[in-house]
């Protein structure tokens, strides 16, 4: 295949919000055809969500607290799409989610092409992108690893 992101992926971000703004970006990966977005919005509380262009949207609907560290993970691939908050599955969809990104035009961390640019009141500690759809145990492992470093 000629696509960079046409296979299973896991994207993790460690962040803290100091003020909740409308559609503030955590991570955005964009091409001319598709966009992978991890963000948070105050339109439904202050809740993290993930989307792939206009094809897919997964909202946690979990209100996050200000000035507290969070481990947010988006796993997508063949027959599954999940979002995790602090190692726990918040939403799970059983459908194939495969963006078609042949060449990356832009990658934003703490910023997005929609909403608040750059995200004010946001601190990002780490971003990781894996070329596989992680299992619940693998996501939990990374959450516990970070919990020891910054969540205490």
**114-138 tens-digit pLDDT:** 655 666 678 888 999 898 889 999 9
d(CA 72, CA 69): 10
**pLDDT at site 1:** 44
pTM, 2 dp: 0.84
Are residues 144 and 87 in contact, defined by beta-carbon separation less than 8 angstroms? yes
Closest CA to 88 of 17, 130, 136, 135: 136
70, 122, 137, 142 from 30: Cα distances, Å: 24, 21, 29, 25
d(CA 126, CA 12): 8
């Amino acid at each position: 295949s000629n696509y960079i992101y046409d296979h299973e992926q896991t994207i993790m971000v460690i962040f803290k919000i100091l003020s909740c703004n409308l559609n503030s970006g955590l991570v955005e990966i964009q091409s001319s055809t598709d966009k992978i977005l991890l963000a948070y919005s105050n339109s439904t509380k202050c809740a993290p969500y993930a989307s792939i262009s206009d094809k897919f949207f997964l909202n946690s609907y979990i209100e996050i607290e200000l000035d507290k560290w969070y481990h947010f993970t988006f796993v997508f691939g063949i027959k599954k799409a999940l979002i995790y908050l602090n190692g726990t599955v918040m939403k799970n969809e059983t459908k194939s989610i495969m963006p078609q990104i042949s060449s990356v035009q832009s990658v934003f961390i703490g910023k997005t092409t929609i909403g608040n640019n750059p995200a004010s009141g946001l601190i990002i500690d780490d971003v990781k992108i894996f070329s596989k759809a992680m299992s619940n145990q693998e996501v939990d492992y990374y959450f516990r690893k970070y919990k020891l470093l910054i969540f205490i």
